[in-house]
């Protein structure tokens, strides 16, 4: 295998090595104190399929113990999922008085382990959800670094593959514009310029949470840096700046940022909505991004909408230079025995290889499986609901079967 091919798979090996080393360190430093019953109960809450949770494990329990003291866990276990509720409602669910829990809830909100807005407070999934919310303001403390170690360990177990059993077009790839803009079949949704033109409020997050978390565990990004935060549009931009997690930018600044990220060979991923909808775009790399890790290792393609364009390669004219291998974040291109190989099943249609090819033998081809993005967040939710429900049902049925099986083994 040539050096070009090892470059393409090297980021995967670095990620696996980093995860394994992190897990070994984690085992060596595992806390000796047992979890409090309230912490264990909260860990059970986080296993809910409604929160895209992992199965119960020592890793999950240690993460919850790091995030919540026993006193805090006793309150947090009664918070609603996703939709914030006032302290009075939470107190009623916990069968206590608002003044008894107010200070605790405010402390959790300040630490960003629970979501808060003007309507109240709520629990978010561990990842995606709390992970982004907790790290997006860019704070760097020993507590944050320990959290990063624990969440990287947990995600590295691959539990997210449980939720990737049925197609659900949650996320889409936005291709590099120069690769597709001259195509007569291109649609506005595939143009970053269209998204920029649709919004008056544009912002950039202070940090990329994925790169930040990996930096905290000793891994330096091979393509970018933690300061290359997500790009946010519309009401998302306003809330980002209001929370102190990002800064407004002009349209011209955003165009420059987009171009710079493309030059770093980052993949643009967003919720599968039309450009006019409020949205966030992650600019991802294969060595740090947890979603690309999911795509490459944990069946994450199930949640990726089919792109408008896929790649085609004129192998007869290919010089096997390996330039496409170096820019590809999903290992669709490889060099084997000095010959280029392309695996369309790994391609997500980002177009980086099109612009990288000096021989111009890589082009885009229309994907017959393409479907336009959702027109609103409501439409988006309804569209992904069937696949999400089916995956959740499979998880619950599997868990029930395993419980029955375990019960039969007891003497």
Q: Please state the rounded mean pLDDT for residues 197-219.
A: 96
Measured between its terminal Cα atoms, the distance across the chain in Å is 54
Q: Does the pLDDT of residue 397 top 50, yes or no?
A: yes
pTM value is: 0.87
pLDDT band at 271 (very low <50, low <70, confident <90, very high): very high
Dist. CA 52–CA 164, nearest whole Å: 11
- CA dist 193 and 196 (Å) reads 5
Average pLDDT over residues 228-236: 97
pLDDT at 3: 35
> What count of Cα atoms within 13 Å lies in the side-chain half-sphere of residue 52?
18
Whether the per-residue pLDDT at 33 is higher than 50: the answer is yes
- Of 261, 305, 259, nearest to 283 (Cα)? 261
State yes or no: pLDDT of 297 exceeds 70: yes
Model pLDDT, residue 308: 86
Instruction: Please tell me the predicted confidence (pLDDT) of residue 395.
Output: 84
Helix (H, G, I), strand (E, B) or coil at 115: strand
Q: Taking all residues of the chain, what is their mean pLDDT, rounded to a whole number? A: 89
Tell me what pLDDT residue 1 has.
36
* Structure tokens belonging to residue 242: 């209001």
The confidence band for 187, taking pLDDT boundaries of 50, 70 and 90, is: low
- Which of 119, 100, 175, 137 lies closest to 355 in space, CA to CA? 175
The pLDDT of residue 403: 64
> Would you state the pLDDT for residue 17?
46
Distance CA 140, CA 90 (A): 30
Between residues 21 and 310, which one has the greater pLDDT?
Answer: 310
Answer yes or no: is pLDDT of 16 > 60: no
Q: In this structure, are residues 285 and 267 in contact, taking their beta carbons and an 8 Å threshold?
A: yes
Binned at pLDDT 50, 70 and 90, residue 290 comes out as: very high
Question: What is the Cα–Cα distance from 25 to 32, expressed in whole angstroms?
Answer: 15
- pLDDT of amino acid 80: 98
Strands (E) across 107-230 are located at 115-117, 120-122, 171-174, 202-205
- Asked if the model's pLDDT at residue 147 lies above 60, the reply is yes
48 Cβ partners below 8 Å, 6+ apart?
81
Query: For residue 31, is pLDDT > 50?
Result: no
Helix 87-94 to helix 98-111 angle (10° resolution) is: 120
Residue tagged 């868990």 (tokens): 399
Are 311 and 344 contacting, i.e. CB atoms less than 8 angstroms apart? yes
CB 77 within 8 A of CB 95: no
- Look up residue 44 and give its two tokens: 């059970």
Asked whether 168 and 387 are in contact (CB, 8 A), the reply is yes
* 391: confidence class by pLDDT, cuts 50, 70, 90: confident
Task: Say yes or no to pLDDT of 26 above 70.
Answer: no
């Amino acid at each position: 295998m040539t050096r070009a091919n090892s470059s393409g798979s090297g980021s995967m090996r670095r990620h696996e090595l980093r995860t394994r080393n992190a897990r070994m360190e984690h085992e060596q430093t595992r806390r000796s104190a047992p979890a409090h019953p309230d912490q264990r109960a909260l860990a059970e809450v986080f296993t809910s399929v409604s929160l895209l949770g992992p199965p119960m494990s020592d890793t999950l329990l240690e993460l919850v113990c790091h995030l919540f003291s026993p006193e805090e866990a006793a309150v947090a276990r009664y918070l609603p999922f996703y939709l914030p509720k006032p302290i009075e409602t939470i107190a009623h669910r916990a069968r206590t008085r608002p003044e008894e829990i107010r200070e605790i809830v405010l402390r959790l909100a300040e630490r960003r382990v629970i979501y808060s807005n003007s309507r109240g407070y709520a629990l978010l999934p561990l990842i995606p959800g709390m992970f982004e919310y907790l790290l997006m303001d860019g704070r760097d403390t020993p507590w944050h670094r320990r959290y990063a170690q624990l969440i990287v360990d947990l995600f590295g177990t691959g539990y997210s593959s449980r939720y990737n059993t049925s197609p659900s077009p949650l996320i889409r790839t936005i291709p590099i514009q120069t690769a597709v803009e001259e195509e007569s079949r291109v649609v506005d949704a595939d143009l970053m310029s269209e998204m920029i033109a649709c919004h008056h409020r544009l912002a950039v997050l202070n940090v990329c949470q994925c790169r930040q978390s990996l930096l905290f565990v000793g891994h330096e990004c091979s393509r970018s840096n933690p300061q290359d935060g997500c790009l946010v549009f519309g009401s998302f931009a306003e809330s980002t700046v209001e929370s102190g997690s990002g800064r407004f930018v002009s349209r011209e600044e955003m165009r420059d940022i987009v171009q710079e990220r493309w030059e770093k060979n980052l993949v643009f991923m967003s919720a599968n909505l039309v450009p006019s909808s409020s949205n966030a775009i992650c600019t991802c790399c294969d060595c740090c991004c947890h979603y690309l890790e999911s795509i490459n290792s944990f069946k994450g393609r199930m949640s990726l909408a089919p792109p408008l364009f896929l790649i085609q390669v004129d192998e007869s004219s290919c010089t096997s230079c390996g330039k496409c291998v170096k820019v590809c974040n999903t290992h669709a291109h490889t060099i084997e025995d000095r010959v280029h190989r392309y695996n369309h099943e790994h391609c997500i249609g980002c177009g980086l290889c099109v612009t990288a090819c000096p021989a111009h033998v890589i082009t885009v081809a229309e994907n017959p499986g393409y479907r336009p993005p959702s027109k609103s967040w409501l439409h988006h939710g309804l569209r992904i609901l069937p696949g999400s429900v089916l995956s959740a049902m499979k998880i619950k049925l599997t868990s029930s079967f395993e419980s029955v099986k375990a019960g039969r083994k007891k003497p």
